[in-house]
Amino acid sequence: MIGPVVAASSDVAVGLAVGIPVVVVAAVTGVVVRLRRRGRGPSGAPPVPAGPPSVEAAPVEAAPVEAAPSSVEVAPVEAVPVEAVPVEAATFRGRMGKARGLLAGYLGSVRSRQRIDGATWDDLEEALIRADVGVGATDAVLDDLRARVKAGSIVGVEALLDALKADLVSALSAGSSGLHLPVGHPAGRDAPAASDGDEEPAVDVWLFVGVNGVGKTTTVGKVASRLTGEGIRVMLAAGDTFRAAAGEQLELWSQRSGADIVRGTEGGDPSAVVFDAVQRAAARGHDLVLADTAGRLHNKVNLIEELKKIRRVAGRAPGRVTEVLLVLDATTGQNGLAQAKVFLDAVEVTGVVLTKLDGTAKGGIVVAIQRELGLPVKLVGLGEGPDDLVDFDPPAFVDALF
Ligand SMILES: Nc1nc2c(ncn2[C@@H]2O[C@H](COP(=O)(O)OP(=O)(O)OP(=O)(O)O)[C@@H](O)[C@H]2O)c(=O)[nH]1
Ligand SMILES: [Mg+2]
């Protein structure tokens, strides 16, 4: 595997470990690096934007991976205008009105009957399946409730619905788990034990994967906005080189969030972009790389192979992949689950980001995802703005659904 080159430094060793092709492709395709420096207040919060939009930093050719990072020009501090649009905070209850309305319609007939009979179970089954909970999860929940009604521990329709809600909350809580936040985040893990001293600190990498249009780029932008606001130094990696517009879209999120960005050329090697972002992040003391990826390539096999490679390359020291987030569009319902399985087989997914739960989504898909995929839903998208992303909260979610 390793060529006949003597590794003289850890950087070179990294280059070899990743494979010469990455370095060569980065150099040949010309990975474009744009770094923006922003001042931070003592709290680590992004600076207050002022003045007109500044001129874009001129793209500079990335040096080969082995080169000293000081060869990259750093643009001066750039002021970014932020539109002050007052918006109501994203909450499950506030944004899931449509899903709630739909379920309420079905539950209305259950409530109207006052007693639990055969029709009650039929209505409940229909309500849950229509809400996208899925057949397997619906059967499991109803079997449990039937047994408890038979045993006399649930009496009456209202008690039955309360028990259903409690069952859903506990089913959703069982598999739930939060994000693996980087060291340095107020709620993050403790710093690892001190090493011998000359080792480069690790850079956490979160990969965002999923089919086209589900909301990967938007989610990367929202996560960047949130974490930069919490004092984390974030580097974005524009790993969707399939379309030029994808890089531009992420560039806008970089400006909005105050995160730096590494972009590649259209058609370039996405692994090289992610690799370069990790190198830059390490050299400049960033805590976290958020890597966007393409949702489509010429065919599905290419896409999956590409993702495997990105994951491998991103995990080479100093990079370490701490989250692989599968982004799913809640409005695609059960179809989204079938797509998801392809990704699970290819990359070790650590959690799901469920987007567009504010729209026409029926909500119950969350239950199906945790049950069918065995993956925690970690984040939920409730709109298109930077603040429209919330941690998944089972009680608040179930409360909003009913
Ligand atoms: N209502 C709503 N819209 C969303 C949400 N998340 C993303 N979107 C919208 O969905 C559309 C697609 O989002 P993108 O982020 O471009 O999706 P993508 O997965 O990066 O798409 P590709 O790059 O084509 O693979 C955009 O119009 C987003 O604004 C959400 O939580 N709610
Ligand atoms: Mg995208």
276 with 136, same domain: the answer is: no
Residue 9 in any domain: the answer is no
- Reported as a single tens digit per residue, the pLDDT across 97-109 is 888 888 888 888 8
| Residue 142: exposure state from Cβ atoms within 10 A (0-12, 13-18, ≥19) | middle
Q: What is the pTM of this model?
A: 0.79
228 with 132, same domain: the answer is: no
Q: Is the pLDDT assigned to residue 71 strictly greater than 60?
A: no
Residue 224 in any domain: the answer is yes
Residue 17 in any domain: the answer is no
Contacts of residue 159, defined as CB under 8 A and 6 or more positions apart, other chains included, come to none
126 with 238, same domain: the answer is: no
With a 6 A CB cut-off, is 293 part of the ligand 1 pocket?
A: no
214 with 170, same domain: the answer is: no
- Please tell me the predicted confidence (pLDDT) of residue 255: 97
Q: Is the pLDDT assigned to residue 9 strictly greater than 50?
A: no
CATH code at position 213: 3.40.50.300
With a 6 A CB cut-off, is 252 part of the ligand 1 pocket?
A: no
CATH code at position 159: 1.20.120.140
Q: Is the pLDDT assigned to residue 4 strictly greater than 60?
A: no
Residue 223 in any domain: the answer is yes
303 C-alpha to ligand 1 centroid (Å):
19
Q: Is the pLDDT assigned to residue 62 strictly greater than 90?
A: no
- Residue 346 in contact with residue 304, Cβ under 8 Å? yes
- Please tell me the predicted confidence (pLDDT) of residue 336: 83
Residue 49 in any domain: the answer is no
Residue 316 — very low, low, confident or very high, per pLDDT cuts 50/70/90? Answer: very high
Residue 48 in any domain: the answer is no
- Reported as a single tens digit per residue, the pLDDT across 112-164 is 888 999 999 999 999 999 898 999 999 999 999 999 999 999 999 999 999 99
Contacts of residue 4, defined as CB under 8 A and 6 or more positions apart, other chains included, come to none
170 with 245, same domain: the answer is: no
- How many structural domains compose the chain? 2
The last residue of one of the domains, among 139, 174, 209, is 174
Q: Is the pLDDT assigned to residue 45 strictly greater than 80?
A: no
342 with 210, same domain: the answer is: yes
- Which atom in ligand 1 lies closest to the alpha carbon of residue 221? 15
276 C-alpha to ligand 1 centroid (Å):
25
168 with 210, same domain: the answer is: no
With a 6 A CB cut-off, is 329 part of the ligand 1 pocket?
A: no
- Reported as a single tens digit per residue, the pLDDT across 340-392 is 888 888 899 999 999 999 988 888 899 999 888 889 999 999 999 999 999 99
Name the β-bridge partners of 234: 288
Nearest CA, atom 13, ligand 1:
215
Give the pLDDT mean for 309-313: 96
For residue 394, give its domain range.
26-36+181-189+200-401
Give the pLDDT mean for 24-41: 44
What mean pLDDT value characterizes the chain? 79
Q: Which ligand is nearest to the CA of 222?
A: 1
- Please tell me the predicted confidence (pLDDT) of residue 72: 32
- Reported as a single tens digit per residue, the pLDDT across 325-339 is 999 999 988 888 888
248 C-alpha to ligand 2 centroid (Å):
10
- Which atom in ligand 1 lies closest to the alpha carbon of residue 220? 15
Q: Is the pLDDT assigned to residue 32 strictly greater than 90?
A: no
Residue 248 in any domain: the answer is yes
Contacts of residue 153, defined as CB under 8 A and 6 or more positions apart, other chains included, come to none
232 with 371, same domain: the answer is: yes
166 with 185, same domain: the answer is: no
63 C-alpha to ligand 1 centroid (Å):
33
170 with 204, same domain: the answer is: no
Nearest CA, atom 10, ligand 1:
215
- Which atom in ligand 1 lies closest to the alpha carbon of residue 218? 15
With a 6 A CB cut-off, is 214 part of the ligand 1 pocket?
A: yes
What does residue 107 show for φ and ψ, rounded to 5 degrees?
Answer: -75, -20
185 with 162, same domain: the answer is: no
Check the CA dihedral 129-370-297-225 and report its sign.
positive
Q: Is the pLDDT assigned to residue 402 strictly greater than 80?
A: yes
Residue 194 — very low, low, confident or very high, per pLDDT cuts 50/70/90? Answer: very low
- Please tell me the predicted confidence (pLDDT) of residue 356: 95
- Reported as a single tens digit per residue, the pLDDT across 156-192 is 999 999 999 999 999 899 877 889 998 877 776 544 5
49 C-alpha to ligand 1 centroid (Å):
26
- Reported as a single tens digit per residue, the pLDDT across 267-310 is 899 999 999 999 999 999 999 999 999 987 666 678 889 999 99
344 C-alpha to ligand 2 centroid (Å):
19
305 with 221, same domain: the answer is: yes
Residue 73 — very low, low, confident or very high, per pLDDT cuts 50/70/90? Answer: very low
Residue 83 in any domain: the answer is no
In sequence order, what DSSP letters do the residues of 130-170 get, joined into one string?
HTT--HHHHHHHHHHHHHHHHTTS--SHHHHHHHHHHHHHH
The last residue of one of the domains, among 174, 208, 236, is 174
- Please tell me the predicted confidence (pLDDT) of residue 27: 43
- Please tell me the predicted confidence (pLDDT) of residue 1: 34
Percent of the chain with pLDDT over 70: 74
- Please tell me the predicted confidence (pLDDT) of residue 204: 97
Tell me: cis bond preceding 49? Omega within 30 of 0 counts: no
What does residue 237 show for φ and ψ, rounded to 5 degrees?
Answer: -115, 115
As a whole number of angstroms, the distance between CA 149 and CA 384 comes to 43
3-state secondary structure 329-367: EHHHHHHHHHHHHHHHHHCCCCEEEEECCCCCCCCCHHH
- Please tell me the predicted confidence (pLDDT) of residue 286: 95
Q: Is the pLDDT assigned to residue 65 strictly greater than 70?
A: no
3-class DSSP assignment, residue 294: coil
